[in-house]
Amino acid sequence: MTVALSSSEIADRLKNQFPEAITETKKECLIIKGDFLLDIASFLKNTPDLEFNYLSYITCVDYKDYFELVYQLVSTKHNHSLVLKTQCRQPEEPIVDSMVDLWKGADFQEREIYDLMGITFKGHPNLKRIFLWDGFQGHPLRKDNSNDTEN
Amino acid sequence: MGFRRYGNGIAKGMALTFKHLFRKPITTQYPEERLNVSRRTRGTQIIWNRDTCIACSACARACPIGCIDMSTSRGEDKKLKVDNITIDFGLCIFCGLCVEACPVGNAIFLSYNWEYAEYQRSKLVLSNDELLYSNTKQVSGYYHPDVEKTLPEQTLLVNRTNRGKPWD
Amino acid sequence: MTLKTEPFVINLGPVHPSTHGVFRLRATLDGEVVMDIEPIIGYLHRGIEKIAEGRNYKQDIPLTDRLDYVASMSNNLPYVMAVEKLAEIAVPERAEYIRIIMAEMQRIASHLLAVGSLANDLGTFFTPFQYMFREREKIVDLFEMVCGQRLLYNYMRFGGVSHDIPDEFIPALCKLVSTMPGFIDEYDQLLAENEILLARLKGVGILPKELAINSSVSGPMLRASGVEWDIRKVDSYSVYDRFNFDIPTEVIGDCYDRYRVRIQEMRQSVRILEQAIEQLPPGEVLAKVSPRLKPPVGEAYAHIEAPKGELGFYLVSDNSEKPYRLHIRAPSLINLTALREMVIGWKLADAIVIFGSIDICLGEVDR
Amino acid sequence: MEVESKYIYPNLELDRDEGEVIKALQEKSQKIIPDPDAWLSEELNRNVLLTTVDGILNWSRRSSLWTVICFPACCAFEFIGAASPRFDIARFGMEIIRASPRQADLMITAGTLTWKMAPQVKRIYEQMAEPKWVIAMGACAISGGLFNDSYSVVPGYNHIIPVDVYIPGCPPRPESLLYGIEKLRGKIRKRSTIKEDK
Amino acid sequence: MQTSVTSFNPTFAFNTLPPDWPGNFWLHWLVFTIILIAFIIVSVIMFIWFERRLIGRFQIRLGPNRVGPFGLFQAIADVIKILTKEDIVPQKADKVVFWLAPLVALVPVLMVFAVVPLQSGAMLVDLNIGILYVVALSSIVSIGIFMAGWGSNNKYSIIGAMRDVAQLISYEIPLVLSIVGVVLLTGSLSLTEIVGAQNIPFILLQPIGFFVFFIGSLAEINRCPFDLVEAESEIIAGYNIEFSGSKFATFFLAEYSEAVLLSALTATLFLGGWSGPLLPPILWLLIKMFAVFAIIIWIRSTLPRFRIDQMMAFAWKFLLPLALINLLLTSLQIVFWPEASSWIIVLLSFAILVALILVWSKSFKPGGNKVGI
């Protein structure tokens, strides 16, 4: 069984390194500040007994007043997982750091989120629409994008 | 890599295809021979039963695409009755959710036949009496175990054998 | 002596015989050698995640069918598992077994297609493909018997499956299971040692272990690169912990290894099926669930080992009839990430084969 | 050969052009192209016996319908099912699936059509040499089906190209497809080439 | 100028006219040409039907069986349909080349048939340099193919055409060298005499030659596993991607008549041609042709395709040495051991063939590897 690491435990370890990074520790996930995302991610990836070398998925949820990005990290060596979240509270121009340099697997998923949610990933090498065509108006998965508009 | 095995593998493959030359073809020659489809088949028609329908519109609500268009009204005896039911078979995906949703259980069915094609788009929209059971439209056993028992057994490819050996 | 050549750009697809759907590869070639590629997808983007937000939980099941349309059963499963996790619905034991039987049959069917179309990409004139389609047809027959459709099954429900299996199902399945290994041997005879096939596949498109993990690749591709990672074992779901089976892995991670892993997995699936038939308990197949399901506020992620890789559904509920957000972790899309690294430097013909060996389904890539 | 940048062609211009083509097509094709069913009513009025030449031409055309590859999605597998040993479309001489539209006669539109794909499908249709036919296979091809209300799906191929035969089902069984093809044959049988040529 | 004879020189042709033919040269020429073209077209149609049915059986299905009895008219329907289809010339194509290409591909194949002996003496001209004529003309086909690829102005077609030229250059050499073995044994370049010389079919005396010739001819007619020119899964339809209507039909005809031609040539050179007991000679030839073609189909239905570099490597590193060794051995035998009993030669040749294949399989490496970019 993949063990879901308790987020409070990791939060304690992170507090030493990044005292201001953690906004909230829930039972199943760890919510951090967007500014520290890249640092924390590389810490999680490179710390020997954590070694989250596998990024299972990235997704984004639109909670109307903010976007929440969800990262599920897995370690294939220790077989444990952690859900990392960050909230993006600028609805106009949401910008998050790109994870492509750490995990190549983020490449298409970040493009997908950029395409469907309209979140810009800073540092992504090839950030452009992936599913929809150039010139498509809006970002369909946002809640303010009603379903019946044809474009 | 290379051909270190002297073309052994090629010869083996050729032997297998040659063996298949002498196996009987598994083709069903469709217009003349037909397979018995599954008893629960979700054929390309929806059959509506006017007599048992209580006009609750559960099927229309259950439909994921809203291809069932049902308008109801209160009759003189205060009972709901269906004024008009239209199903667009060009839109319908035959998922069977309407059949599952039916509270009476025998007002809407999927059909057992699947031979259905039209030259015109407009002819795919059927309504009212066209949806009723007829000689050309048989009821399928999907979600109707009682009907299921009356239907012929399905032809299975697994069961066909070649000279006593499993069909291959 | 070096010749000065000018690279040129060629579009493979979106309509191309061996892109398995509407996939487009903008490739820069230097003669026959691929200099660079850019996969362009989205030609089948139907907005399933958005549509799902507009329909209620049950109506979303048909949508999941159409993700990886060659493995519908496997797509139903994680979705209903995610909803069950959210709404805390218990599944009867018999239903769990039926689900596993279906999922494993689906794995065989999907791998048959994957191997068959890989052989097609190699240029065999449809013969292995036709032989494999014959076995797939047998499996499809059984699916049809259970749920009435041949391709898009819409079979699983919250708290079980929509129908119990008919009486004639188990004998037919036994027959299938008993003959299947023989057929897999035949495919091995036809393909595995063929020198031309070996020359085309061995050493081609190597995906090193580190890169595979880093690219979030999953499924047979990851295992071919030598990582023993199978959700059925590492994060066992349903009742998989009651079965004996191995995770086939290979070492190098070239096209041939990916082909081998698929063939081995079919054998393992047959093993699981044999055990599942033995253990199948009697009883109910569907727990009582309100038709207007309103799961409590929260989120859930359920994942399974689908034929193509780790298929997961991330579901957010706001206590209404409709899901607030449904994200699909599509293995095909993420497996594509590694394509560029594998293809560059190979010939055009190899690019096609490497692409074929990933085994993607465009319905799942684009959603 | 040195590759200059990490991605040697970001090619944003190309993407933009493609986007514009898609947009233009989308604006142009909001209406349904009427079914080419004039022959149905004409047939009653015409009541002219088809000539022998017509007979031979129609026989050859309906006996060798070569399909073009245009299989976006799910229904493709039922088409392949029809071509597989069990149903064997080759019996009708249709196993030659031409990848080049120039040499094909029949387009079986098996699968959902998105706006991104629509220009390509239109182009394939236009590249096919006359006479050509189109079968809309399955709900998505007829009306967009389950994805009818999606932001990126064309609600039916008949917004883009004229369709000759509609086969409902999601997907239709292989036999159902064969039935539809039989129906298309019926249509070809009644066609008069000599008269139609302008 | 006695040596510079053309085929239009009546006296020259008259000499080669079989004695039982009535009329003068022109009548013979006309009648026989018509017969020959009819023969080619009928056998192409039969070949197409045969191929589709047989491949169907290899794939445990039926194959065309609806159009006419046993589906025999299937190919006829196809031909009528293709011929009456709209003929599209792409706007950006090189018009002249595009128009000429199908003819350049078809005509040489038809011309080659002039020297193929259908039965004793039944041929248009019995050139004493028959084999040379065959080799020379059949390679013109690929100029037609290259014209098609170039003229279409399509990237896929140009890739296909390039592949074809590369393929032809590589495989023509082992092919010709393997024929030289036969010529050495016969002592003549005339096809009639080659048939006449086969007391034992040359496949037994020249197994290495046959092996090389057969594989080379597979490549020559672009058949699996060397069908890179049309490689459907890679470059769609190859050189003929932009062709439709009657031009495509011409290509189709050219392609299959090449298959007919090479089956006939294989039968003539190595299987004893029209000679055989009991049955009429023409039937023997047809049987042998169909047998050869059946093997080609069998190979097509089993084997995957080579990659381009592997294919080239196969020609240069595998077939060419074999052909050279064969040539050497044959000439040695003719010079030093002309009276050897043929059966000893047969045994020896097969032993050498097996040994060579074993040795070469060990050392031969097909194709290159990844190219560093």
- For chain A, the structural domain boundaries read 3-136
pLDDT digits (tens, 9 = 90+) for D85-95: 888 888 888 87
Find residue D108's DSSP bridge partners. Answer: D135
Q: Do E234 and C18 touch (CB under 8 A)?
A: yes
pLDDT band at E371 (very low <50, low <70, confident <90, very high): low
pLDDT digits (tens, 9 = 90+) for B24-68: 888 888 888 888 888 888 888 888 888 888 888 888 888 888 888
Q: Do E233 and C121 touch (CB under 8 A)?
A: yes
Residue in D8, D28, D151 to test binding to A, most A beta-carbons within 10 Å: D151
Instruction: Supply C104's token pair.
Output: 């494993």
Measure the CA–CA gap between D144 and E119, rounded to whole angstroms: 63
Find residue C125's DSSP bridge partners. Answer: none
The CA R_g of chain E, rounded to the nearest whole Å, is: 21
- Predicted confidence at residue A13, as pLDDT, reads 76
Chains A and B are touching, with contact defined as 3 or more CB–CB pairs separated by less than 8 Å: no
B12 falls within a domain: no
E65 falls within a domain: no
- B80-B84-B89-B95 Cα dihedral, nearest 10 degrees: -10
B61 falls within a domain: yes
Is residue D12 within 8 angstroms of chain B, CB to CB?
no
Q: Do D91 and B88 touch (CB under 8 A)?
A: no
Q: Is the dihedral of CA E135, E138, E143, E145 positive or negative?
A: negative
Report whether pLDDT(E54) > 60.
Answer: yes
Closest in B10, B95, B140 to C194, CB measured: B10
pLDDT band at C330 (very low <50, low <70, confident <90, very high): confident
Q: Do D64 and E74 touch (CB under 8 A)?
A: yes
Closest in A1, A70, A72 to C236, CB measured: A1
- Predicted confidence at residue B161, as pLDDT, reads 62
ipTM: 0.86
pLDDT band at E288 (very low <50, low <70, confident <90, very high): confident
Query: Considering its fold, how many domains does chain D have in total?
Result: 1
* Angle formed at CA C312 by CA C306 and CA C314, multiple of 5 degrees: 165
Domain of residue E204 covers 93-363
Measure the CA–CA gap between E218 and E229, rounded to whole angstroms: 12
pLDDT digits (tens, 9 = 90+) for E86-142: 888 888 888 888 888 888 888 888 888 888 887 766 666 777 788 888 888 888 888
B166 falls within a domain: no
Record: fold of C8-365: Cytochrome-c3 Hydrogenase; chain B (1.10.645)
Report whether pLDDT(B166) > 60.
Answer: no
What would the mean pLDDT of C267-280 be, rounded to a whole number?
89
> How many inter-chain contacts (C to E, CB under 8 Å) are there?
96
The chain B residues in contact with chain E (CB within 8 A) are 1-7, 10, 13-14, 16-18, 20-21, 23-27, 29
- Predicted confidence at residue D4, as pLDDT, reads 41
Q: Which of chain E's residues have a Cβ under 8 Å away from the Cβ of C199? A: 306-307, 310, 366-367
* Angle formed at CA E154 by CA E148 and CA E158, multiple of 5 degrees: 55
pLDDT band at B162 (very low <50, low <70, confident <90, very high): low
Closest in D8, D77, D112 to C28, CB measured: D8
Q: Chain D closest CA to B6's CA: distance in Å? A: 32
Q: Chain B closest CA to E52's CA: distance in Å? A: 13
Report whether pLDDT(B134) > 50.
Answer: yes
E327 falls within a domain: yes
- Predicted confidence at residue E17, as pLDDT, reads 52
The CATH number of the structural domain formed by A3-136 is: 3.30.460.80
Regarding predicted confidence, which is higher, E293 or E1? E293
Say if CB C156 and CB C140 are below 8 A apart.
no
Q: Would you list the DSSP string of C152-214? A: ----EETTEESSPPPTTHHHHHHHHHHHHHHHHHHHIIIIIT-HHHHHHHTTSS---HHHHHH
Measure the CA–CA gap between C252 and C258, rounded to whole angstroms: 9
Chains C and D are touching, with contact defined as 3 or more CB–CB pairs separated by less than 8 Å: yes
pLDDT digits (tens, 9 = 90+) for C157-199: 888 888 888 888 888 888 888 888 888 888 888 888 888 888 8
Strand boundaries in chain C, DSSP class E? 8-12, 24-30, 33-40, 156-157, 160-161, 298-306, 309-317, 325-329
Residues 18-37 of C with CB under 8 A from B: none
- Predicted confidence at residue A145, as pLDDT, reads 66
Q: Chain C closest CA to B76's CA: distance in Å? A: 31
Q: Do B3 and C179 touch (CB under 8 A)?
A: no
* Angle formed at CA E191 by CA E188 and CA E192, multiple of 5 degrees: 95
> E252-284: buried (b, 16+ CB within 10 Å) or exposed (e) per residue?
bbbbbbbbbbbbbbbbbbbbbbbbbeeeebeeb
Residues 57-116 of A with CB under 8 A from C: 57, 59, 61-62, 70, 72, 76, 79, 83, 103-109, 112, 116
Residues 134-173 of E with CB under 8 A from C: 155-156, 159
Is residue D29 within 8 angstroms of chain B, CB to CB?
no
What would the mean pLDDT of D157-185 be, rounded to a whole number?
86
Report whether pLDDT(D99) > 70.
Answer: yes
pLDDT band at A146 (very low <50, low <70, confident <90, very high): low
- Predicted confidence at residue E119, as pLDDT, reads 72
Measure the CA–CA gap between C273 and C105, rounded to whole angstroms: 8
Domain of residue D100 covers 65-189
Query: Considering its fold, how many domains does chain E have in total?
Result: 1
- Predicted confidence at residue D90, as pLDDT, reads 84
Q: Is the dihedral of CA E134, E137, E143, E145 positive or negative?
A: negative
Measure the CA–CA gap between B167 and C109, rounded to whole angstroms: 18
Domain CATH number, residue D112: 3.40.50.12280
pLDDT band at A150 (very low <50, low <70, confident <90, very high): very low
The nearest alpha carbon in chain C to E313 belongs to: C199
Name the maximum alpha-carbon separation found in chain B.
89
- Predicted confidence at residue E22, as pLDDT, reads 58
- Predicted confidence at residue E6, as pLDDT, reads 43
- Predicted confidence at residue D41, as pLDDT, reads 57
Measure the CA–CA gap between C214 and A53, rounded to whole angstroms: 7
Number of H helices, E strands in chain A: 3, 8
Q: Do E365 and B2 touch (CB under 8 A)?
A: yes
The nearest alpha carbon in chain E to B6 belongs to: E361
Q: Which of chain A's residues have a Cβ under 8 Å away from the Cβ of D22? A: 133, 135
Q: Do E305 and C123 touch (CB under 8 A)?
A: yes
Domain of residue B140 covers 46-148
What would the mean pLDDT of A64-72 be, rounded to a whole number?
85
What's the N-to-C CA distance of chain E in angstroms?
59
Q: Do A128 and D15 touch (CB under 8 A)?
A: yes
- Predicted confidence at residue D39, as pLDDT, reads 60
Report whether pLDDT(C92) > 60.
Answer: yes
Q: Which helix (H) or strand (E) holds A82?
A: strand A80-88
Q: Which of chain B's residues have a Cβ under 8 Å away from the Cβ of C193? A: 5, 8-9, 12-13
Residue in C35, C66, C153 to test binding to D, most D beta-carbons within 10 Å: C66
- Predicted confidence at residue D192, as pLDDT, reads 65
Q: Do D86 and B37 touch (CB under 8 A)?
A: no
Is residue B20 within 8 angstroms of chain D, CB to CB?
no
- Predicted confidence at residue E12, as pLDDT, reads 43
